[in-house]
Amino acid sequence: MYPLSVDQPYPRNQWWVAAYASEVGRDLLARDILGEPVILYRSAAGEALALAGICPHRAFPLAKGCLVGDAVQCGYHGFQFGPDGACQNVPSQSGVPQNARLRRYPVAERGGLIWIWTGAAERADPANIPDVASIGLGRPDWAVEEHPIKTVDGRYTLLIENLLDLSHVTFIHDKTIPGGEKVAAIPVSVIETQTSLTVQRRGENLPLNPLIKMQFPEQTGPVHQHFDSEYLGPCMIRTGGAMYDAATGAELGIQNYIHIITPASPTRMHYMVMTARNFGIDQPHLGEIQIGMGSRIQPEDIDAIEAIERVLQSGATMPQEISARVDNGALKVRRRLEAQIRAEAA
C-alpha cells in the first residue's frame, strides 16, 4: 500500500498511542486503532485499561454502554465484562457463555500518554516505548502543551513523510511559521541509530524572527537553530530542536514538537501534537502561543495529506514517482517500516 511495497499497511507488534492520559477517566472512550474499535477507561484505582470495543453477543458498540464498578456493561442487553475482558454477568441467565470475553490490550502510561500494544500480548515490552523523557515529556523541568487531537482522512505514512521533509515548511506554512522561508534551503544530513533516524537541518546565523524574540526577549542578534526531524518509530516523530545565540554559541533553549501518529484504519489516522520546551517553564503565555500557532499550522498539513489521499484513491493513472536528495531520510524510513512489517509476516 503506497508508499510502502508491502500489503499489510502497518505493523501490529508495535506500541501506538491510544490517547492522551488526560482523556482517559471513568467514562468509556471509543477510539479506532488499526481498524479495530477499542474502548479505554480507568479502573477505580486509576489504572488505564483498553478492551475490544464490540460486544460479542450482538455486535453492539460497547462505548454506548457504561461502567458498573470496573466492569463494562453493554448498553444493549446488559452483558458485563471485567477489566480482564472476561464476561462476568448475563442478566437474562445464571451463567455466562463459554469463551465469552473481550480482547484486553496491554497498556502503559508514559509521558502523559496512554500507549497500547496491538500485537501478541506476550510480546508486549514497555522497554520498547520511545524514550519520551529525553524529548521533554513527563518531566517537571520541561513545560508541555497538549494540542487538540485530530482525525485525518489519510494514511499514516503520508504524515510520516510530511514530517521527515521539512522543506514543505517554506511553502505550505509560508504564512504561519516565522522564519519558515529559510528552511528549504538549509542542507540536510541523515543520522541513523538502531532505534531512530534523524534528518538534521542546522540553520546558521538566521535573522531573529518574531517567535524567538517572544521566547527570548533579551536576544537581539541572529541565531543558530536546529530543524530536526527525528523518527522514533511509526508512532512518533520529533521536530524542532535547540536554539543558540549565533555570536557566542550559548544555548538559548530547546523547543520540541512531538507528533504522535496512530492509524485508525489503512486510510485514516489520529494525529496528536505535544510541544515541549526546557525554558520559560513559569511563563504559560509561551504555551498559549504554541497552541495558537498549532491551530493554524496543523490544518495546513492535514489539508495537504487529505489532498494526496484523495488522489491516491481517485483511480487516476499515477506518474512514476520521483524523489529529491532531501527525501533520503524518508526513503530510509520506508525501508525500515517495510522491514518491520515483513519481519512480522515471517
DSSP SS3 for 263 = strand
SS3 category, 124: coil
Crossing angle for the helix pair 284-312 and 156-164, nearest 10 degrees?
A: 120
Cell of residue 206, nine digits: 538566521
Q: What percent of the chain has pLDDT over 90?
A: 93
Nearest to 56 by CA among 95, 85, 92: 85
Residues 50, 54, 59, CA angle at the centre, nearest 5°? 170
8 A C-beta contact, residue 240 and residue 255: yes
Strand residue runs (E) in the chain:
15-20, 29-33, 36-42, 48-52, 66-68, 71-73, 80-81, 87-89, 107-110, 113-117, 143-146, 150-152, 188-192, 197-206, 223-226, 228-231, 236-245, 251-265, 268-277
Superfamily for domain range 15-128: Rieske [2Fe-2S] iron-sulphur domain (2.102.10.10)
How crowded is residue 171: how many other Cβ atoms within 10 Å of its Cβ? 13
Residue 182 pLDDT greater than 80, yes or no:
no
| Confidence category of residue 173, pLDDT binned at 50, 70, 90 | very high
Per-residue pLDDT at 113 exceeds 90: yes
Domain residue spans in the chain? Answer: 15-128, 132-345
pLDDT for residue 175? 85
pLDDT average, residue stretch 213-235? 97
CATH of 132-345 given 2.40.160.60, 3.20.20.80, 3.30.70.2740, 3.90.380.10: 3.90.380.10
Q: For the chain, give the mean pLDDT.
A: 96
- Phi–psi pair at 182, nearest 5 degrees: -85, -20
How many beta carbons lie within 10 A of that of residue 297, not counting itself?
20
User: 277 and 261 in contact (C-beta within 8 Å)?
Assistant: no
Whole-model pTM? 0.96
Span 45-71, mean pLDDT? Answer: 98
